[in-house]
Amino acid sequence: MTAAPAIRIENLVKRYAPAKGANGTMIEGKLALGGVSFDVPEGSIFGLLGPNGAGKSTLINILAGLVNKTSGACEIWGFDIDYGVPGALRRSEELLAAVRLADKRNAYARTLSGGMKRRLLVAKAMVHSPPILVLDEPTAGVDVELRRQLWELVSELNREGVTVVLTTHYLEEAEELCDRIAIINHGQLIANKPTQELIGMAREKIVAVTVADDLAAAPAHEAFVKATWDGARAVEVTYDKDRLSAGQVLAILQEQGLTIEDVTTREADLEDVFVQLTGTAG
């Protein structure tokens, strides 16, 4: 029997209230979520991605109780979570150390820098050892070293059994951490798959070649999606893997008189799929 999901979202709709425009006319309320449904498996790290304005933050805020849904259902662990934590069960010192704020334990939050406030929010979210942890852009505005430390902390919590829902604009972060990823665009769910299966949806691949002689321009062919050139001898050809193979790309280049000295290929990544599905970069 399949375990119940940590979070169940069914036909979730959010339409914001109408607003009065500058000329006094009423403007129809924005439809932020248009009937979104998905489950977050227990014990997973679940990525929720989408372009700006796609509806991610609205969904997260509904889960957090900060925004009222228009219709639909949200079930978290089968019941509402009590966030009150006795002092003896808090992990304050451990978490302050993990986010490098131990020396600020007695400081007022308003005196912290923007990056420190971001780290404090992450620590506050974890202080009561929740069975589900929702992190909305947890590494925005922090340096690369701290980002890596937070990734390790999230992975460790997940190994301990915590279900994590993560939103991020860093697609490499989602690709590295998440077991499963859902993508929202214009208030609609457009993908919901295991991460590697989602990456496998990408149609395009890249062959990078170095040729023997300087080129006057990038090579062109109707079968290429695009070809870029560094102004000398390096060329990258993007092709549709459903139409061509890497070998066929190389054959076309050789037919055009190019002598190839070095070849590398690049597999699709989450960025490629995200652009393919949403039409925007992450």
Amino acid of residue 8: R
Percent of the chain with pLDDT over 70: 83
Q: Which residue has the higher pLDDT, 187 or 97?
A: 187
Least confident residue range of 34-38, 77-81, 91-95, 241-245: 77-81
Least confident residue range of 12-26, 163-177, 181-195, 210-224: 12-26
Q: What is the pLDDT of residue 247?
A: 92
Give pLDDT tens digits for 110-142.
Answer: 667 666 766 666 766 666 567 888 888 888 877
Strand partners, 211: 260
- Other Cβ atoms closer than 10 A to 260: 14
Q: Which residue has the higher pLDDT, 130 or 240?
A: 240
Q: Which domains, ranges and CATH numbers included, belong to the chain?
A: 7-81+130-199 (3.40.50.300), 86-126 (no CATH), 204-278 (3.30.70)
Q: What is the pLDDT of residue 137?
A: 87
Per-residue pLDDT band for 4 (boundaries 50, 70, 90) equals: confident
Q: What is the pLDDT of residue 80?
A: 41
Give pLDDT tens digits for 61-116.
Answer: 888 777 888 999 888 877 543 374 455 555 667 667 766 667 777 766 666 766 67
Backbone angles phi, psi at 7, to 5 degrees: -135, 135
Give pLDDT tens digits for 219-229.
Answer: 999 999 889 99
> Global pTM?
0.71
Mean pLDDT, range 19-46, rounded to an integer: 88
Give pLDDT tens digits for 246-255.
Answer: 999 999 999 9
